[in-house]
Structure 1
């Protein structure tokens, strides 16, 4: 019975505490007060600068739309294309070598030797071994061997760029380690 009285008193005490003012009301009142007191500070926007057009008064320079300017540009383009054509013309006139029928990525450099005082690269293509010397041609892009070391063969290729012009680029064929 004593426990029942204590429990009843505790329940009544908690009910009285719950009826009192809560801190939530205080917080809400403070937030409303702060909101009312705060005034935003927005700086004024600067007016845009006035655009004043300037007339083109450079009469001493060549007119960009003149026939002289067009003629110079056409001459420059034709001389450049003749230079690029001179890269490819000798390549098209010569007889193709056996390793020019294969792309470079299908070839593997498996070693190098010195033969008669000259470096010779050993290149494997389709399970056949070829001896490649300086000046030989490899690959589909007119690749001419310019340097042979123990670990790589360096080529000068002639390829077309995105515009269709013929350019030179350097390609290498590196020594492949044996796969087990």
Structure 2
């Protein structure tokens, strides 16, 4: 016998048993259909009736006679309050002439040295690769920073900044001596 015929003969019993199993399922098909019909007759769906929608009663707009929240009148009141809120700290800073080092943020400055001349201490700052000599009382940084003290290792300054609530407060900052490998 040829190998093809042997393979076909080996598959024949499997196909015959599958056919017999399917035939057994078909015999119980009428029993299954009867059970389905019985379930359809016995089980009744329960659907709750829809609730009628509530009647809409319009409410009159009572705030129409009040001040509109975005009116120029209300905004000008808010601006006046903000201007009145500017403390004396900021008022004094706004009235003076700005110094050149106030155009740069503090993080762009590096203290590279200090010196004492005629009993007065000076600090050397590197800003944009240029050296600047500063003393106590000079201003630097973008937050109205005024130098209060210079030591051999750092510069202490007082800044005027807004806190989270929008109030103007003083803050102390320091610039420390940057030791470079040059």
State the TM-score, normalized to the length of structure 2. Answer: 0.53
Deviation beyond 3 Å, 4+ runs, structure 1? 81-84
Per-residue CA distance 1:131-153 (angstroms, 9 max, x = gap): 00010001000000000000000
Residue from 150, 153, 158 that aligns with 2:152: 150
Residue from 132, 135, 143 that aligns with 1:133: 135
Check 1:83–1:150 CA distance in 2 against 1; reply closer, same or farther (3 A cut).
Answer: farther
Would the aligned equivalents of 1:119 and 1:149 in 2 still touch at CA under 8 Å? Answer: yes
- Aligned partner of 1:159 in structure 2 is 161
Unaligned runs of 5+ in 1: 1-80
- Aligned partner of 1:107 in structure 2 is 109
RMSD: 2.1
> Secondary structure of 1:100's match?
helix
1:179: how far off? 3.6
State the TM-score, normalized to the length of structure 1. Answer: 0.53
> Secondary structure of 2:88's match?
helix
Unaligned runs of 5+ in 2: 1-82
> Secondary structure of 1:176's match?
coil
Aligned residues: 102
Larger Cα-atom Rg: 2
